[in-house]
């Protein structure tokens, strides 16, 4: 068994509501510090405020790129990524170009992701740069298994760090079957972030067992509070 802190370190505490205020964002940051979450994911506008609040803690600043549809030119995605990193974000959740995916124009998908991910990876190599984690959002509710497989393979080829299941703005949330499929495609070397509609410890546990090693949720506090170490069904093996 493992501690609640180990579970918390698998959670991205996310506040992506369009009506979130600065006080809301700072509250999420304070909760993340208290519970030792991996990351607070905020809209790009709030990166600087989150970075100031989280400075000196063990919690990272995360944000989204081309949220929620991925439907901007690659140059705009690259600019968004650079701007996010310049304002303190070290974890970037990048929405794949869903229109290109649905058109099966995978050469466009690959060029798009390669430029953005490479920009992030190079930023992390600068003398004072932080390690930058990139997570490619494939929106499982709008893509077929075949499309998901193609995008996962592209994301792995361009050296993204994670596949993420949902933006939270799609037609449905994540399922255990989604995570199992993605894990099977990417193997053990790549991260899988389950997100979209995760509200309970039971959901989080099932998704981790299925192969997720990050959980994106706006209800991280209640999930961690509900975790009973003596009843937890997860083992350290799951975390590897």
Residue bearing tokens 């979130």: 20
Q: Which of 9, 60, 135, 164 is catalytic?
A: 164
Kindly give, in sequence order, each residue whose CB lies less than 8 Å from that of residue 146, ignoring residues fewer than 6 positions away. none
208: region left, alpha or beta (phi > 0 left; psi from -120 to 50 alpha)? alpha
Rg of the Cα atoms in the chain: 17
| Residue 135 falls in the annotated catalytic set | no
| Residue 164 falls in the annotated catalytic set | yes
Give the DSSP letter of residue 70. -
Q: Which of 12, 93, 112, 161 is catalytic?
A: 93
What distances in angstroms separate CA 23 from CA 26, 28, 54, 184, one per listed residue?
A: 5, 9, 14, 40
Cα separation of the two ends of the chain: 13
| Residue 193 falls in the annotated catalytic set | yes
Catalytic positions? 93, 164, 193
């Amino acid at each position: 068994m493992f501690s609640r802190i180990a579970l918390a370190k698998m959670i991205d505490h996310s506040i992506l509501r369009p009506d979130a205020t600065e006080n809301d964002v700072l509250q999420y940051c304070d909760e993340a510090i208290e519970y030792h979450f991996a990351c607070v994911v905020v809209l790009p506008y709030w990166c600087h405020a989150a970075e100031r609040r989280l400075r000196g803690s063990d919690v990272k600043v995360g944000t989204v790129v081309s949220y929620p549809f991925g439907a901007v030119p690659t140059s705009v995605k690259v600019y968004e990524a650079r701007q996010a990193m310049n304002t303190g974000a070290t974890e970037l959740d990048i929405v794949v170009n869903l229109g290109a995916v649905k058109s099966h124009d995978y050469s466009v998908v690959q060029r798009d992701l390669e430029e953005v991910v490479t920009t992030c990876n190079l930023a992390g190599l600068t003398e004072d740069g932080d390690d930058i984690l990139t997570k490619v959002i494939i929106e499982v509710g709008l893509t077929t298994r075949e499309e998901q497989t193609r995008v996962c393979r592209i994301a792995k080829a361009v050296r993204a760090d994670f596949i993420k299941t949902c933006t939270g703005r799609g037609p449905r949330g994540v399922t255990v079957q989604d995570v199992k499929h993605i894990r099977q495609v990417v193997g053990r070397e790549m991260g899988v972030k389950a997100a979209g509609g995760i509200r309970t410890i039971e959901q989080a546990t099932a998704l981790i067992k299925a192969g997720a090693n990050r959980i994106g949720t706006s209800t991280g506090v209640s999930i961690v509070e509900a975790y009973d170490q003596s009843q937890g069904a997860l083992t350290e093996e799951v975390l590897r």
